[in-house]
Amino acid sequence: MPAPPGSIDRGILKLHEKIRNESRVKPTALENLIEKMDSTQLMELIHPVAGNVEEVKNAKPLMLVIDAAELVPVCGLLFKNPETYFDMLTCITGVDNGHEANTMEVIYHLYSIPFHQSLMLKVMLPRENPEVESVTTIWKSANWLEREVFDMFGIAFKNHPDLRRILMPADWEGYPLRKDYKHEETYRELKSINRNWPEYILTVIETSAIHIQRR
């Protein structure tokens, strides 16, 4: 005798729900299995290879400042150590602190899937000819992330396998997110748009409001 219409679909849905319920781990039980390192423990762990380590107060997630020369050993330790296992490099941020500070920053956003823990590592670089060692040998995701920072800030990543622009054209002049960047008037004989963006956006909003009132 054939099954009633729709009964098979309902049976599959009930089976899926049963599997989800049986495989679901209660948050309290999961938290008991995970022992995250606090800031003091992390600093003690990396101190032998990092030397000077400084915690940035009130940063969320935890941010540690280390010497640029020790970046690769520190990252390698955090990746390989079974008590931390930061298996993901999710983002790299570049910062230009301007002429007065005469420094630049590179911030690495790390995440550990098994420990559900985030960590930021920051290195300080001189603004003139900034460079730091690539971490592509540790995390493959660093390849494009480092290229983005290079493209926008001009920070070089030594021993990167393919360090070239990724967002801007190969023949673009300058680094758009540096504070001293000057917008080119033309590109390949085409006139570029160089607007005072805050004033332009305000004009667009005011024009739109007038247009809506007239309707």
Is residue 130 pLDDT above 80, yes or no?
A: yes
| pLDDT recorded at residue 32 | 46
- Measured distance CA(208)–CA(203) in Å, rounded: 8
pLDDT at 195: 58
CA dist 89 and 70 (Å) reads 17
In CATH, the number for domain 31-169 is 3.30.460.80
- Tell me the pTM: 0.75
Q: Is the pLDDT of residue 203 over 80?
A: no
By residue count, the chain amounts to 215
- The Cα 215–Cα 8 span in angstroms is 55
CA gyration radius, the chain? 25
Label residue 154 by pLDDT band (50, 70, 90): very high
Q: What is the pLDDT of residue 146?
A: 98
Residue 71 predicted with pLDDT over 50: yes
**99 neighbors 180 (Cβ within 8 angstroms):** yes
- Per-residue confidence (pLDDT) for residue 28, from 0 to 100: 45
Q: What is the pLDDT of residue 8?
A: 57
Whether 3 shows a pLDDT value over 90: the answer reads no
What is the structure's pLDDT at 105? Answer: 98
Q: Which pLDDT band holds residue 7 (cuts at 50, 70, 90)?
A: low
Average pLDDT over residues 188-199: 65
> Distance (Å, rounded) from C-alpha 93 to C-alpha 108?
7
**Mean pLDDT computed over 76-86:** 96
Between 188 and 126, where is the model more confident? 126
Residue 86: is its pLDDT beyond 70?
A: yes
> Using one digit for the tens of pLDDT, what is the confidence trace for 10-63?
655 565 566 566 555 444 444 445 678 999 999 999 999 998 999 999 999 999
Of 102-111, 158-167, 174-183, the least confident: 174-183
> Smallest Cα–Cα separation from 42: which of 4, 95, 81, 11?
81
Q: Is 80 exceeded by the pLDDT of residue 211?
A: no
Q: Average pLDDT of 174-179?
A: 94
3-state secondary structure 147-198: HHHHHHHCCEEECCCCCCCCCCCCCCCCCCCCCCCCCCCEECCEECCCCCHH
**CB burial of residue 85 (10 Å; 0-12, 13-18, 19+):** middle
| 143: pLDDT strictly greater than 70 | yes
Percent of the chain whose predicted confidence (pLDDT) is above 90: 67
Of 56, 58, 52, nearest in space to 95 by CA: 56
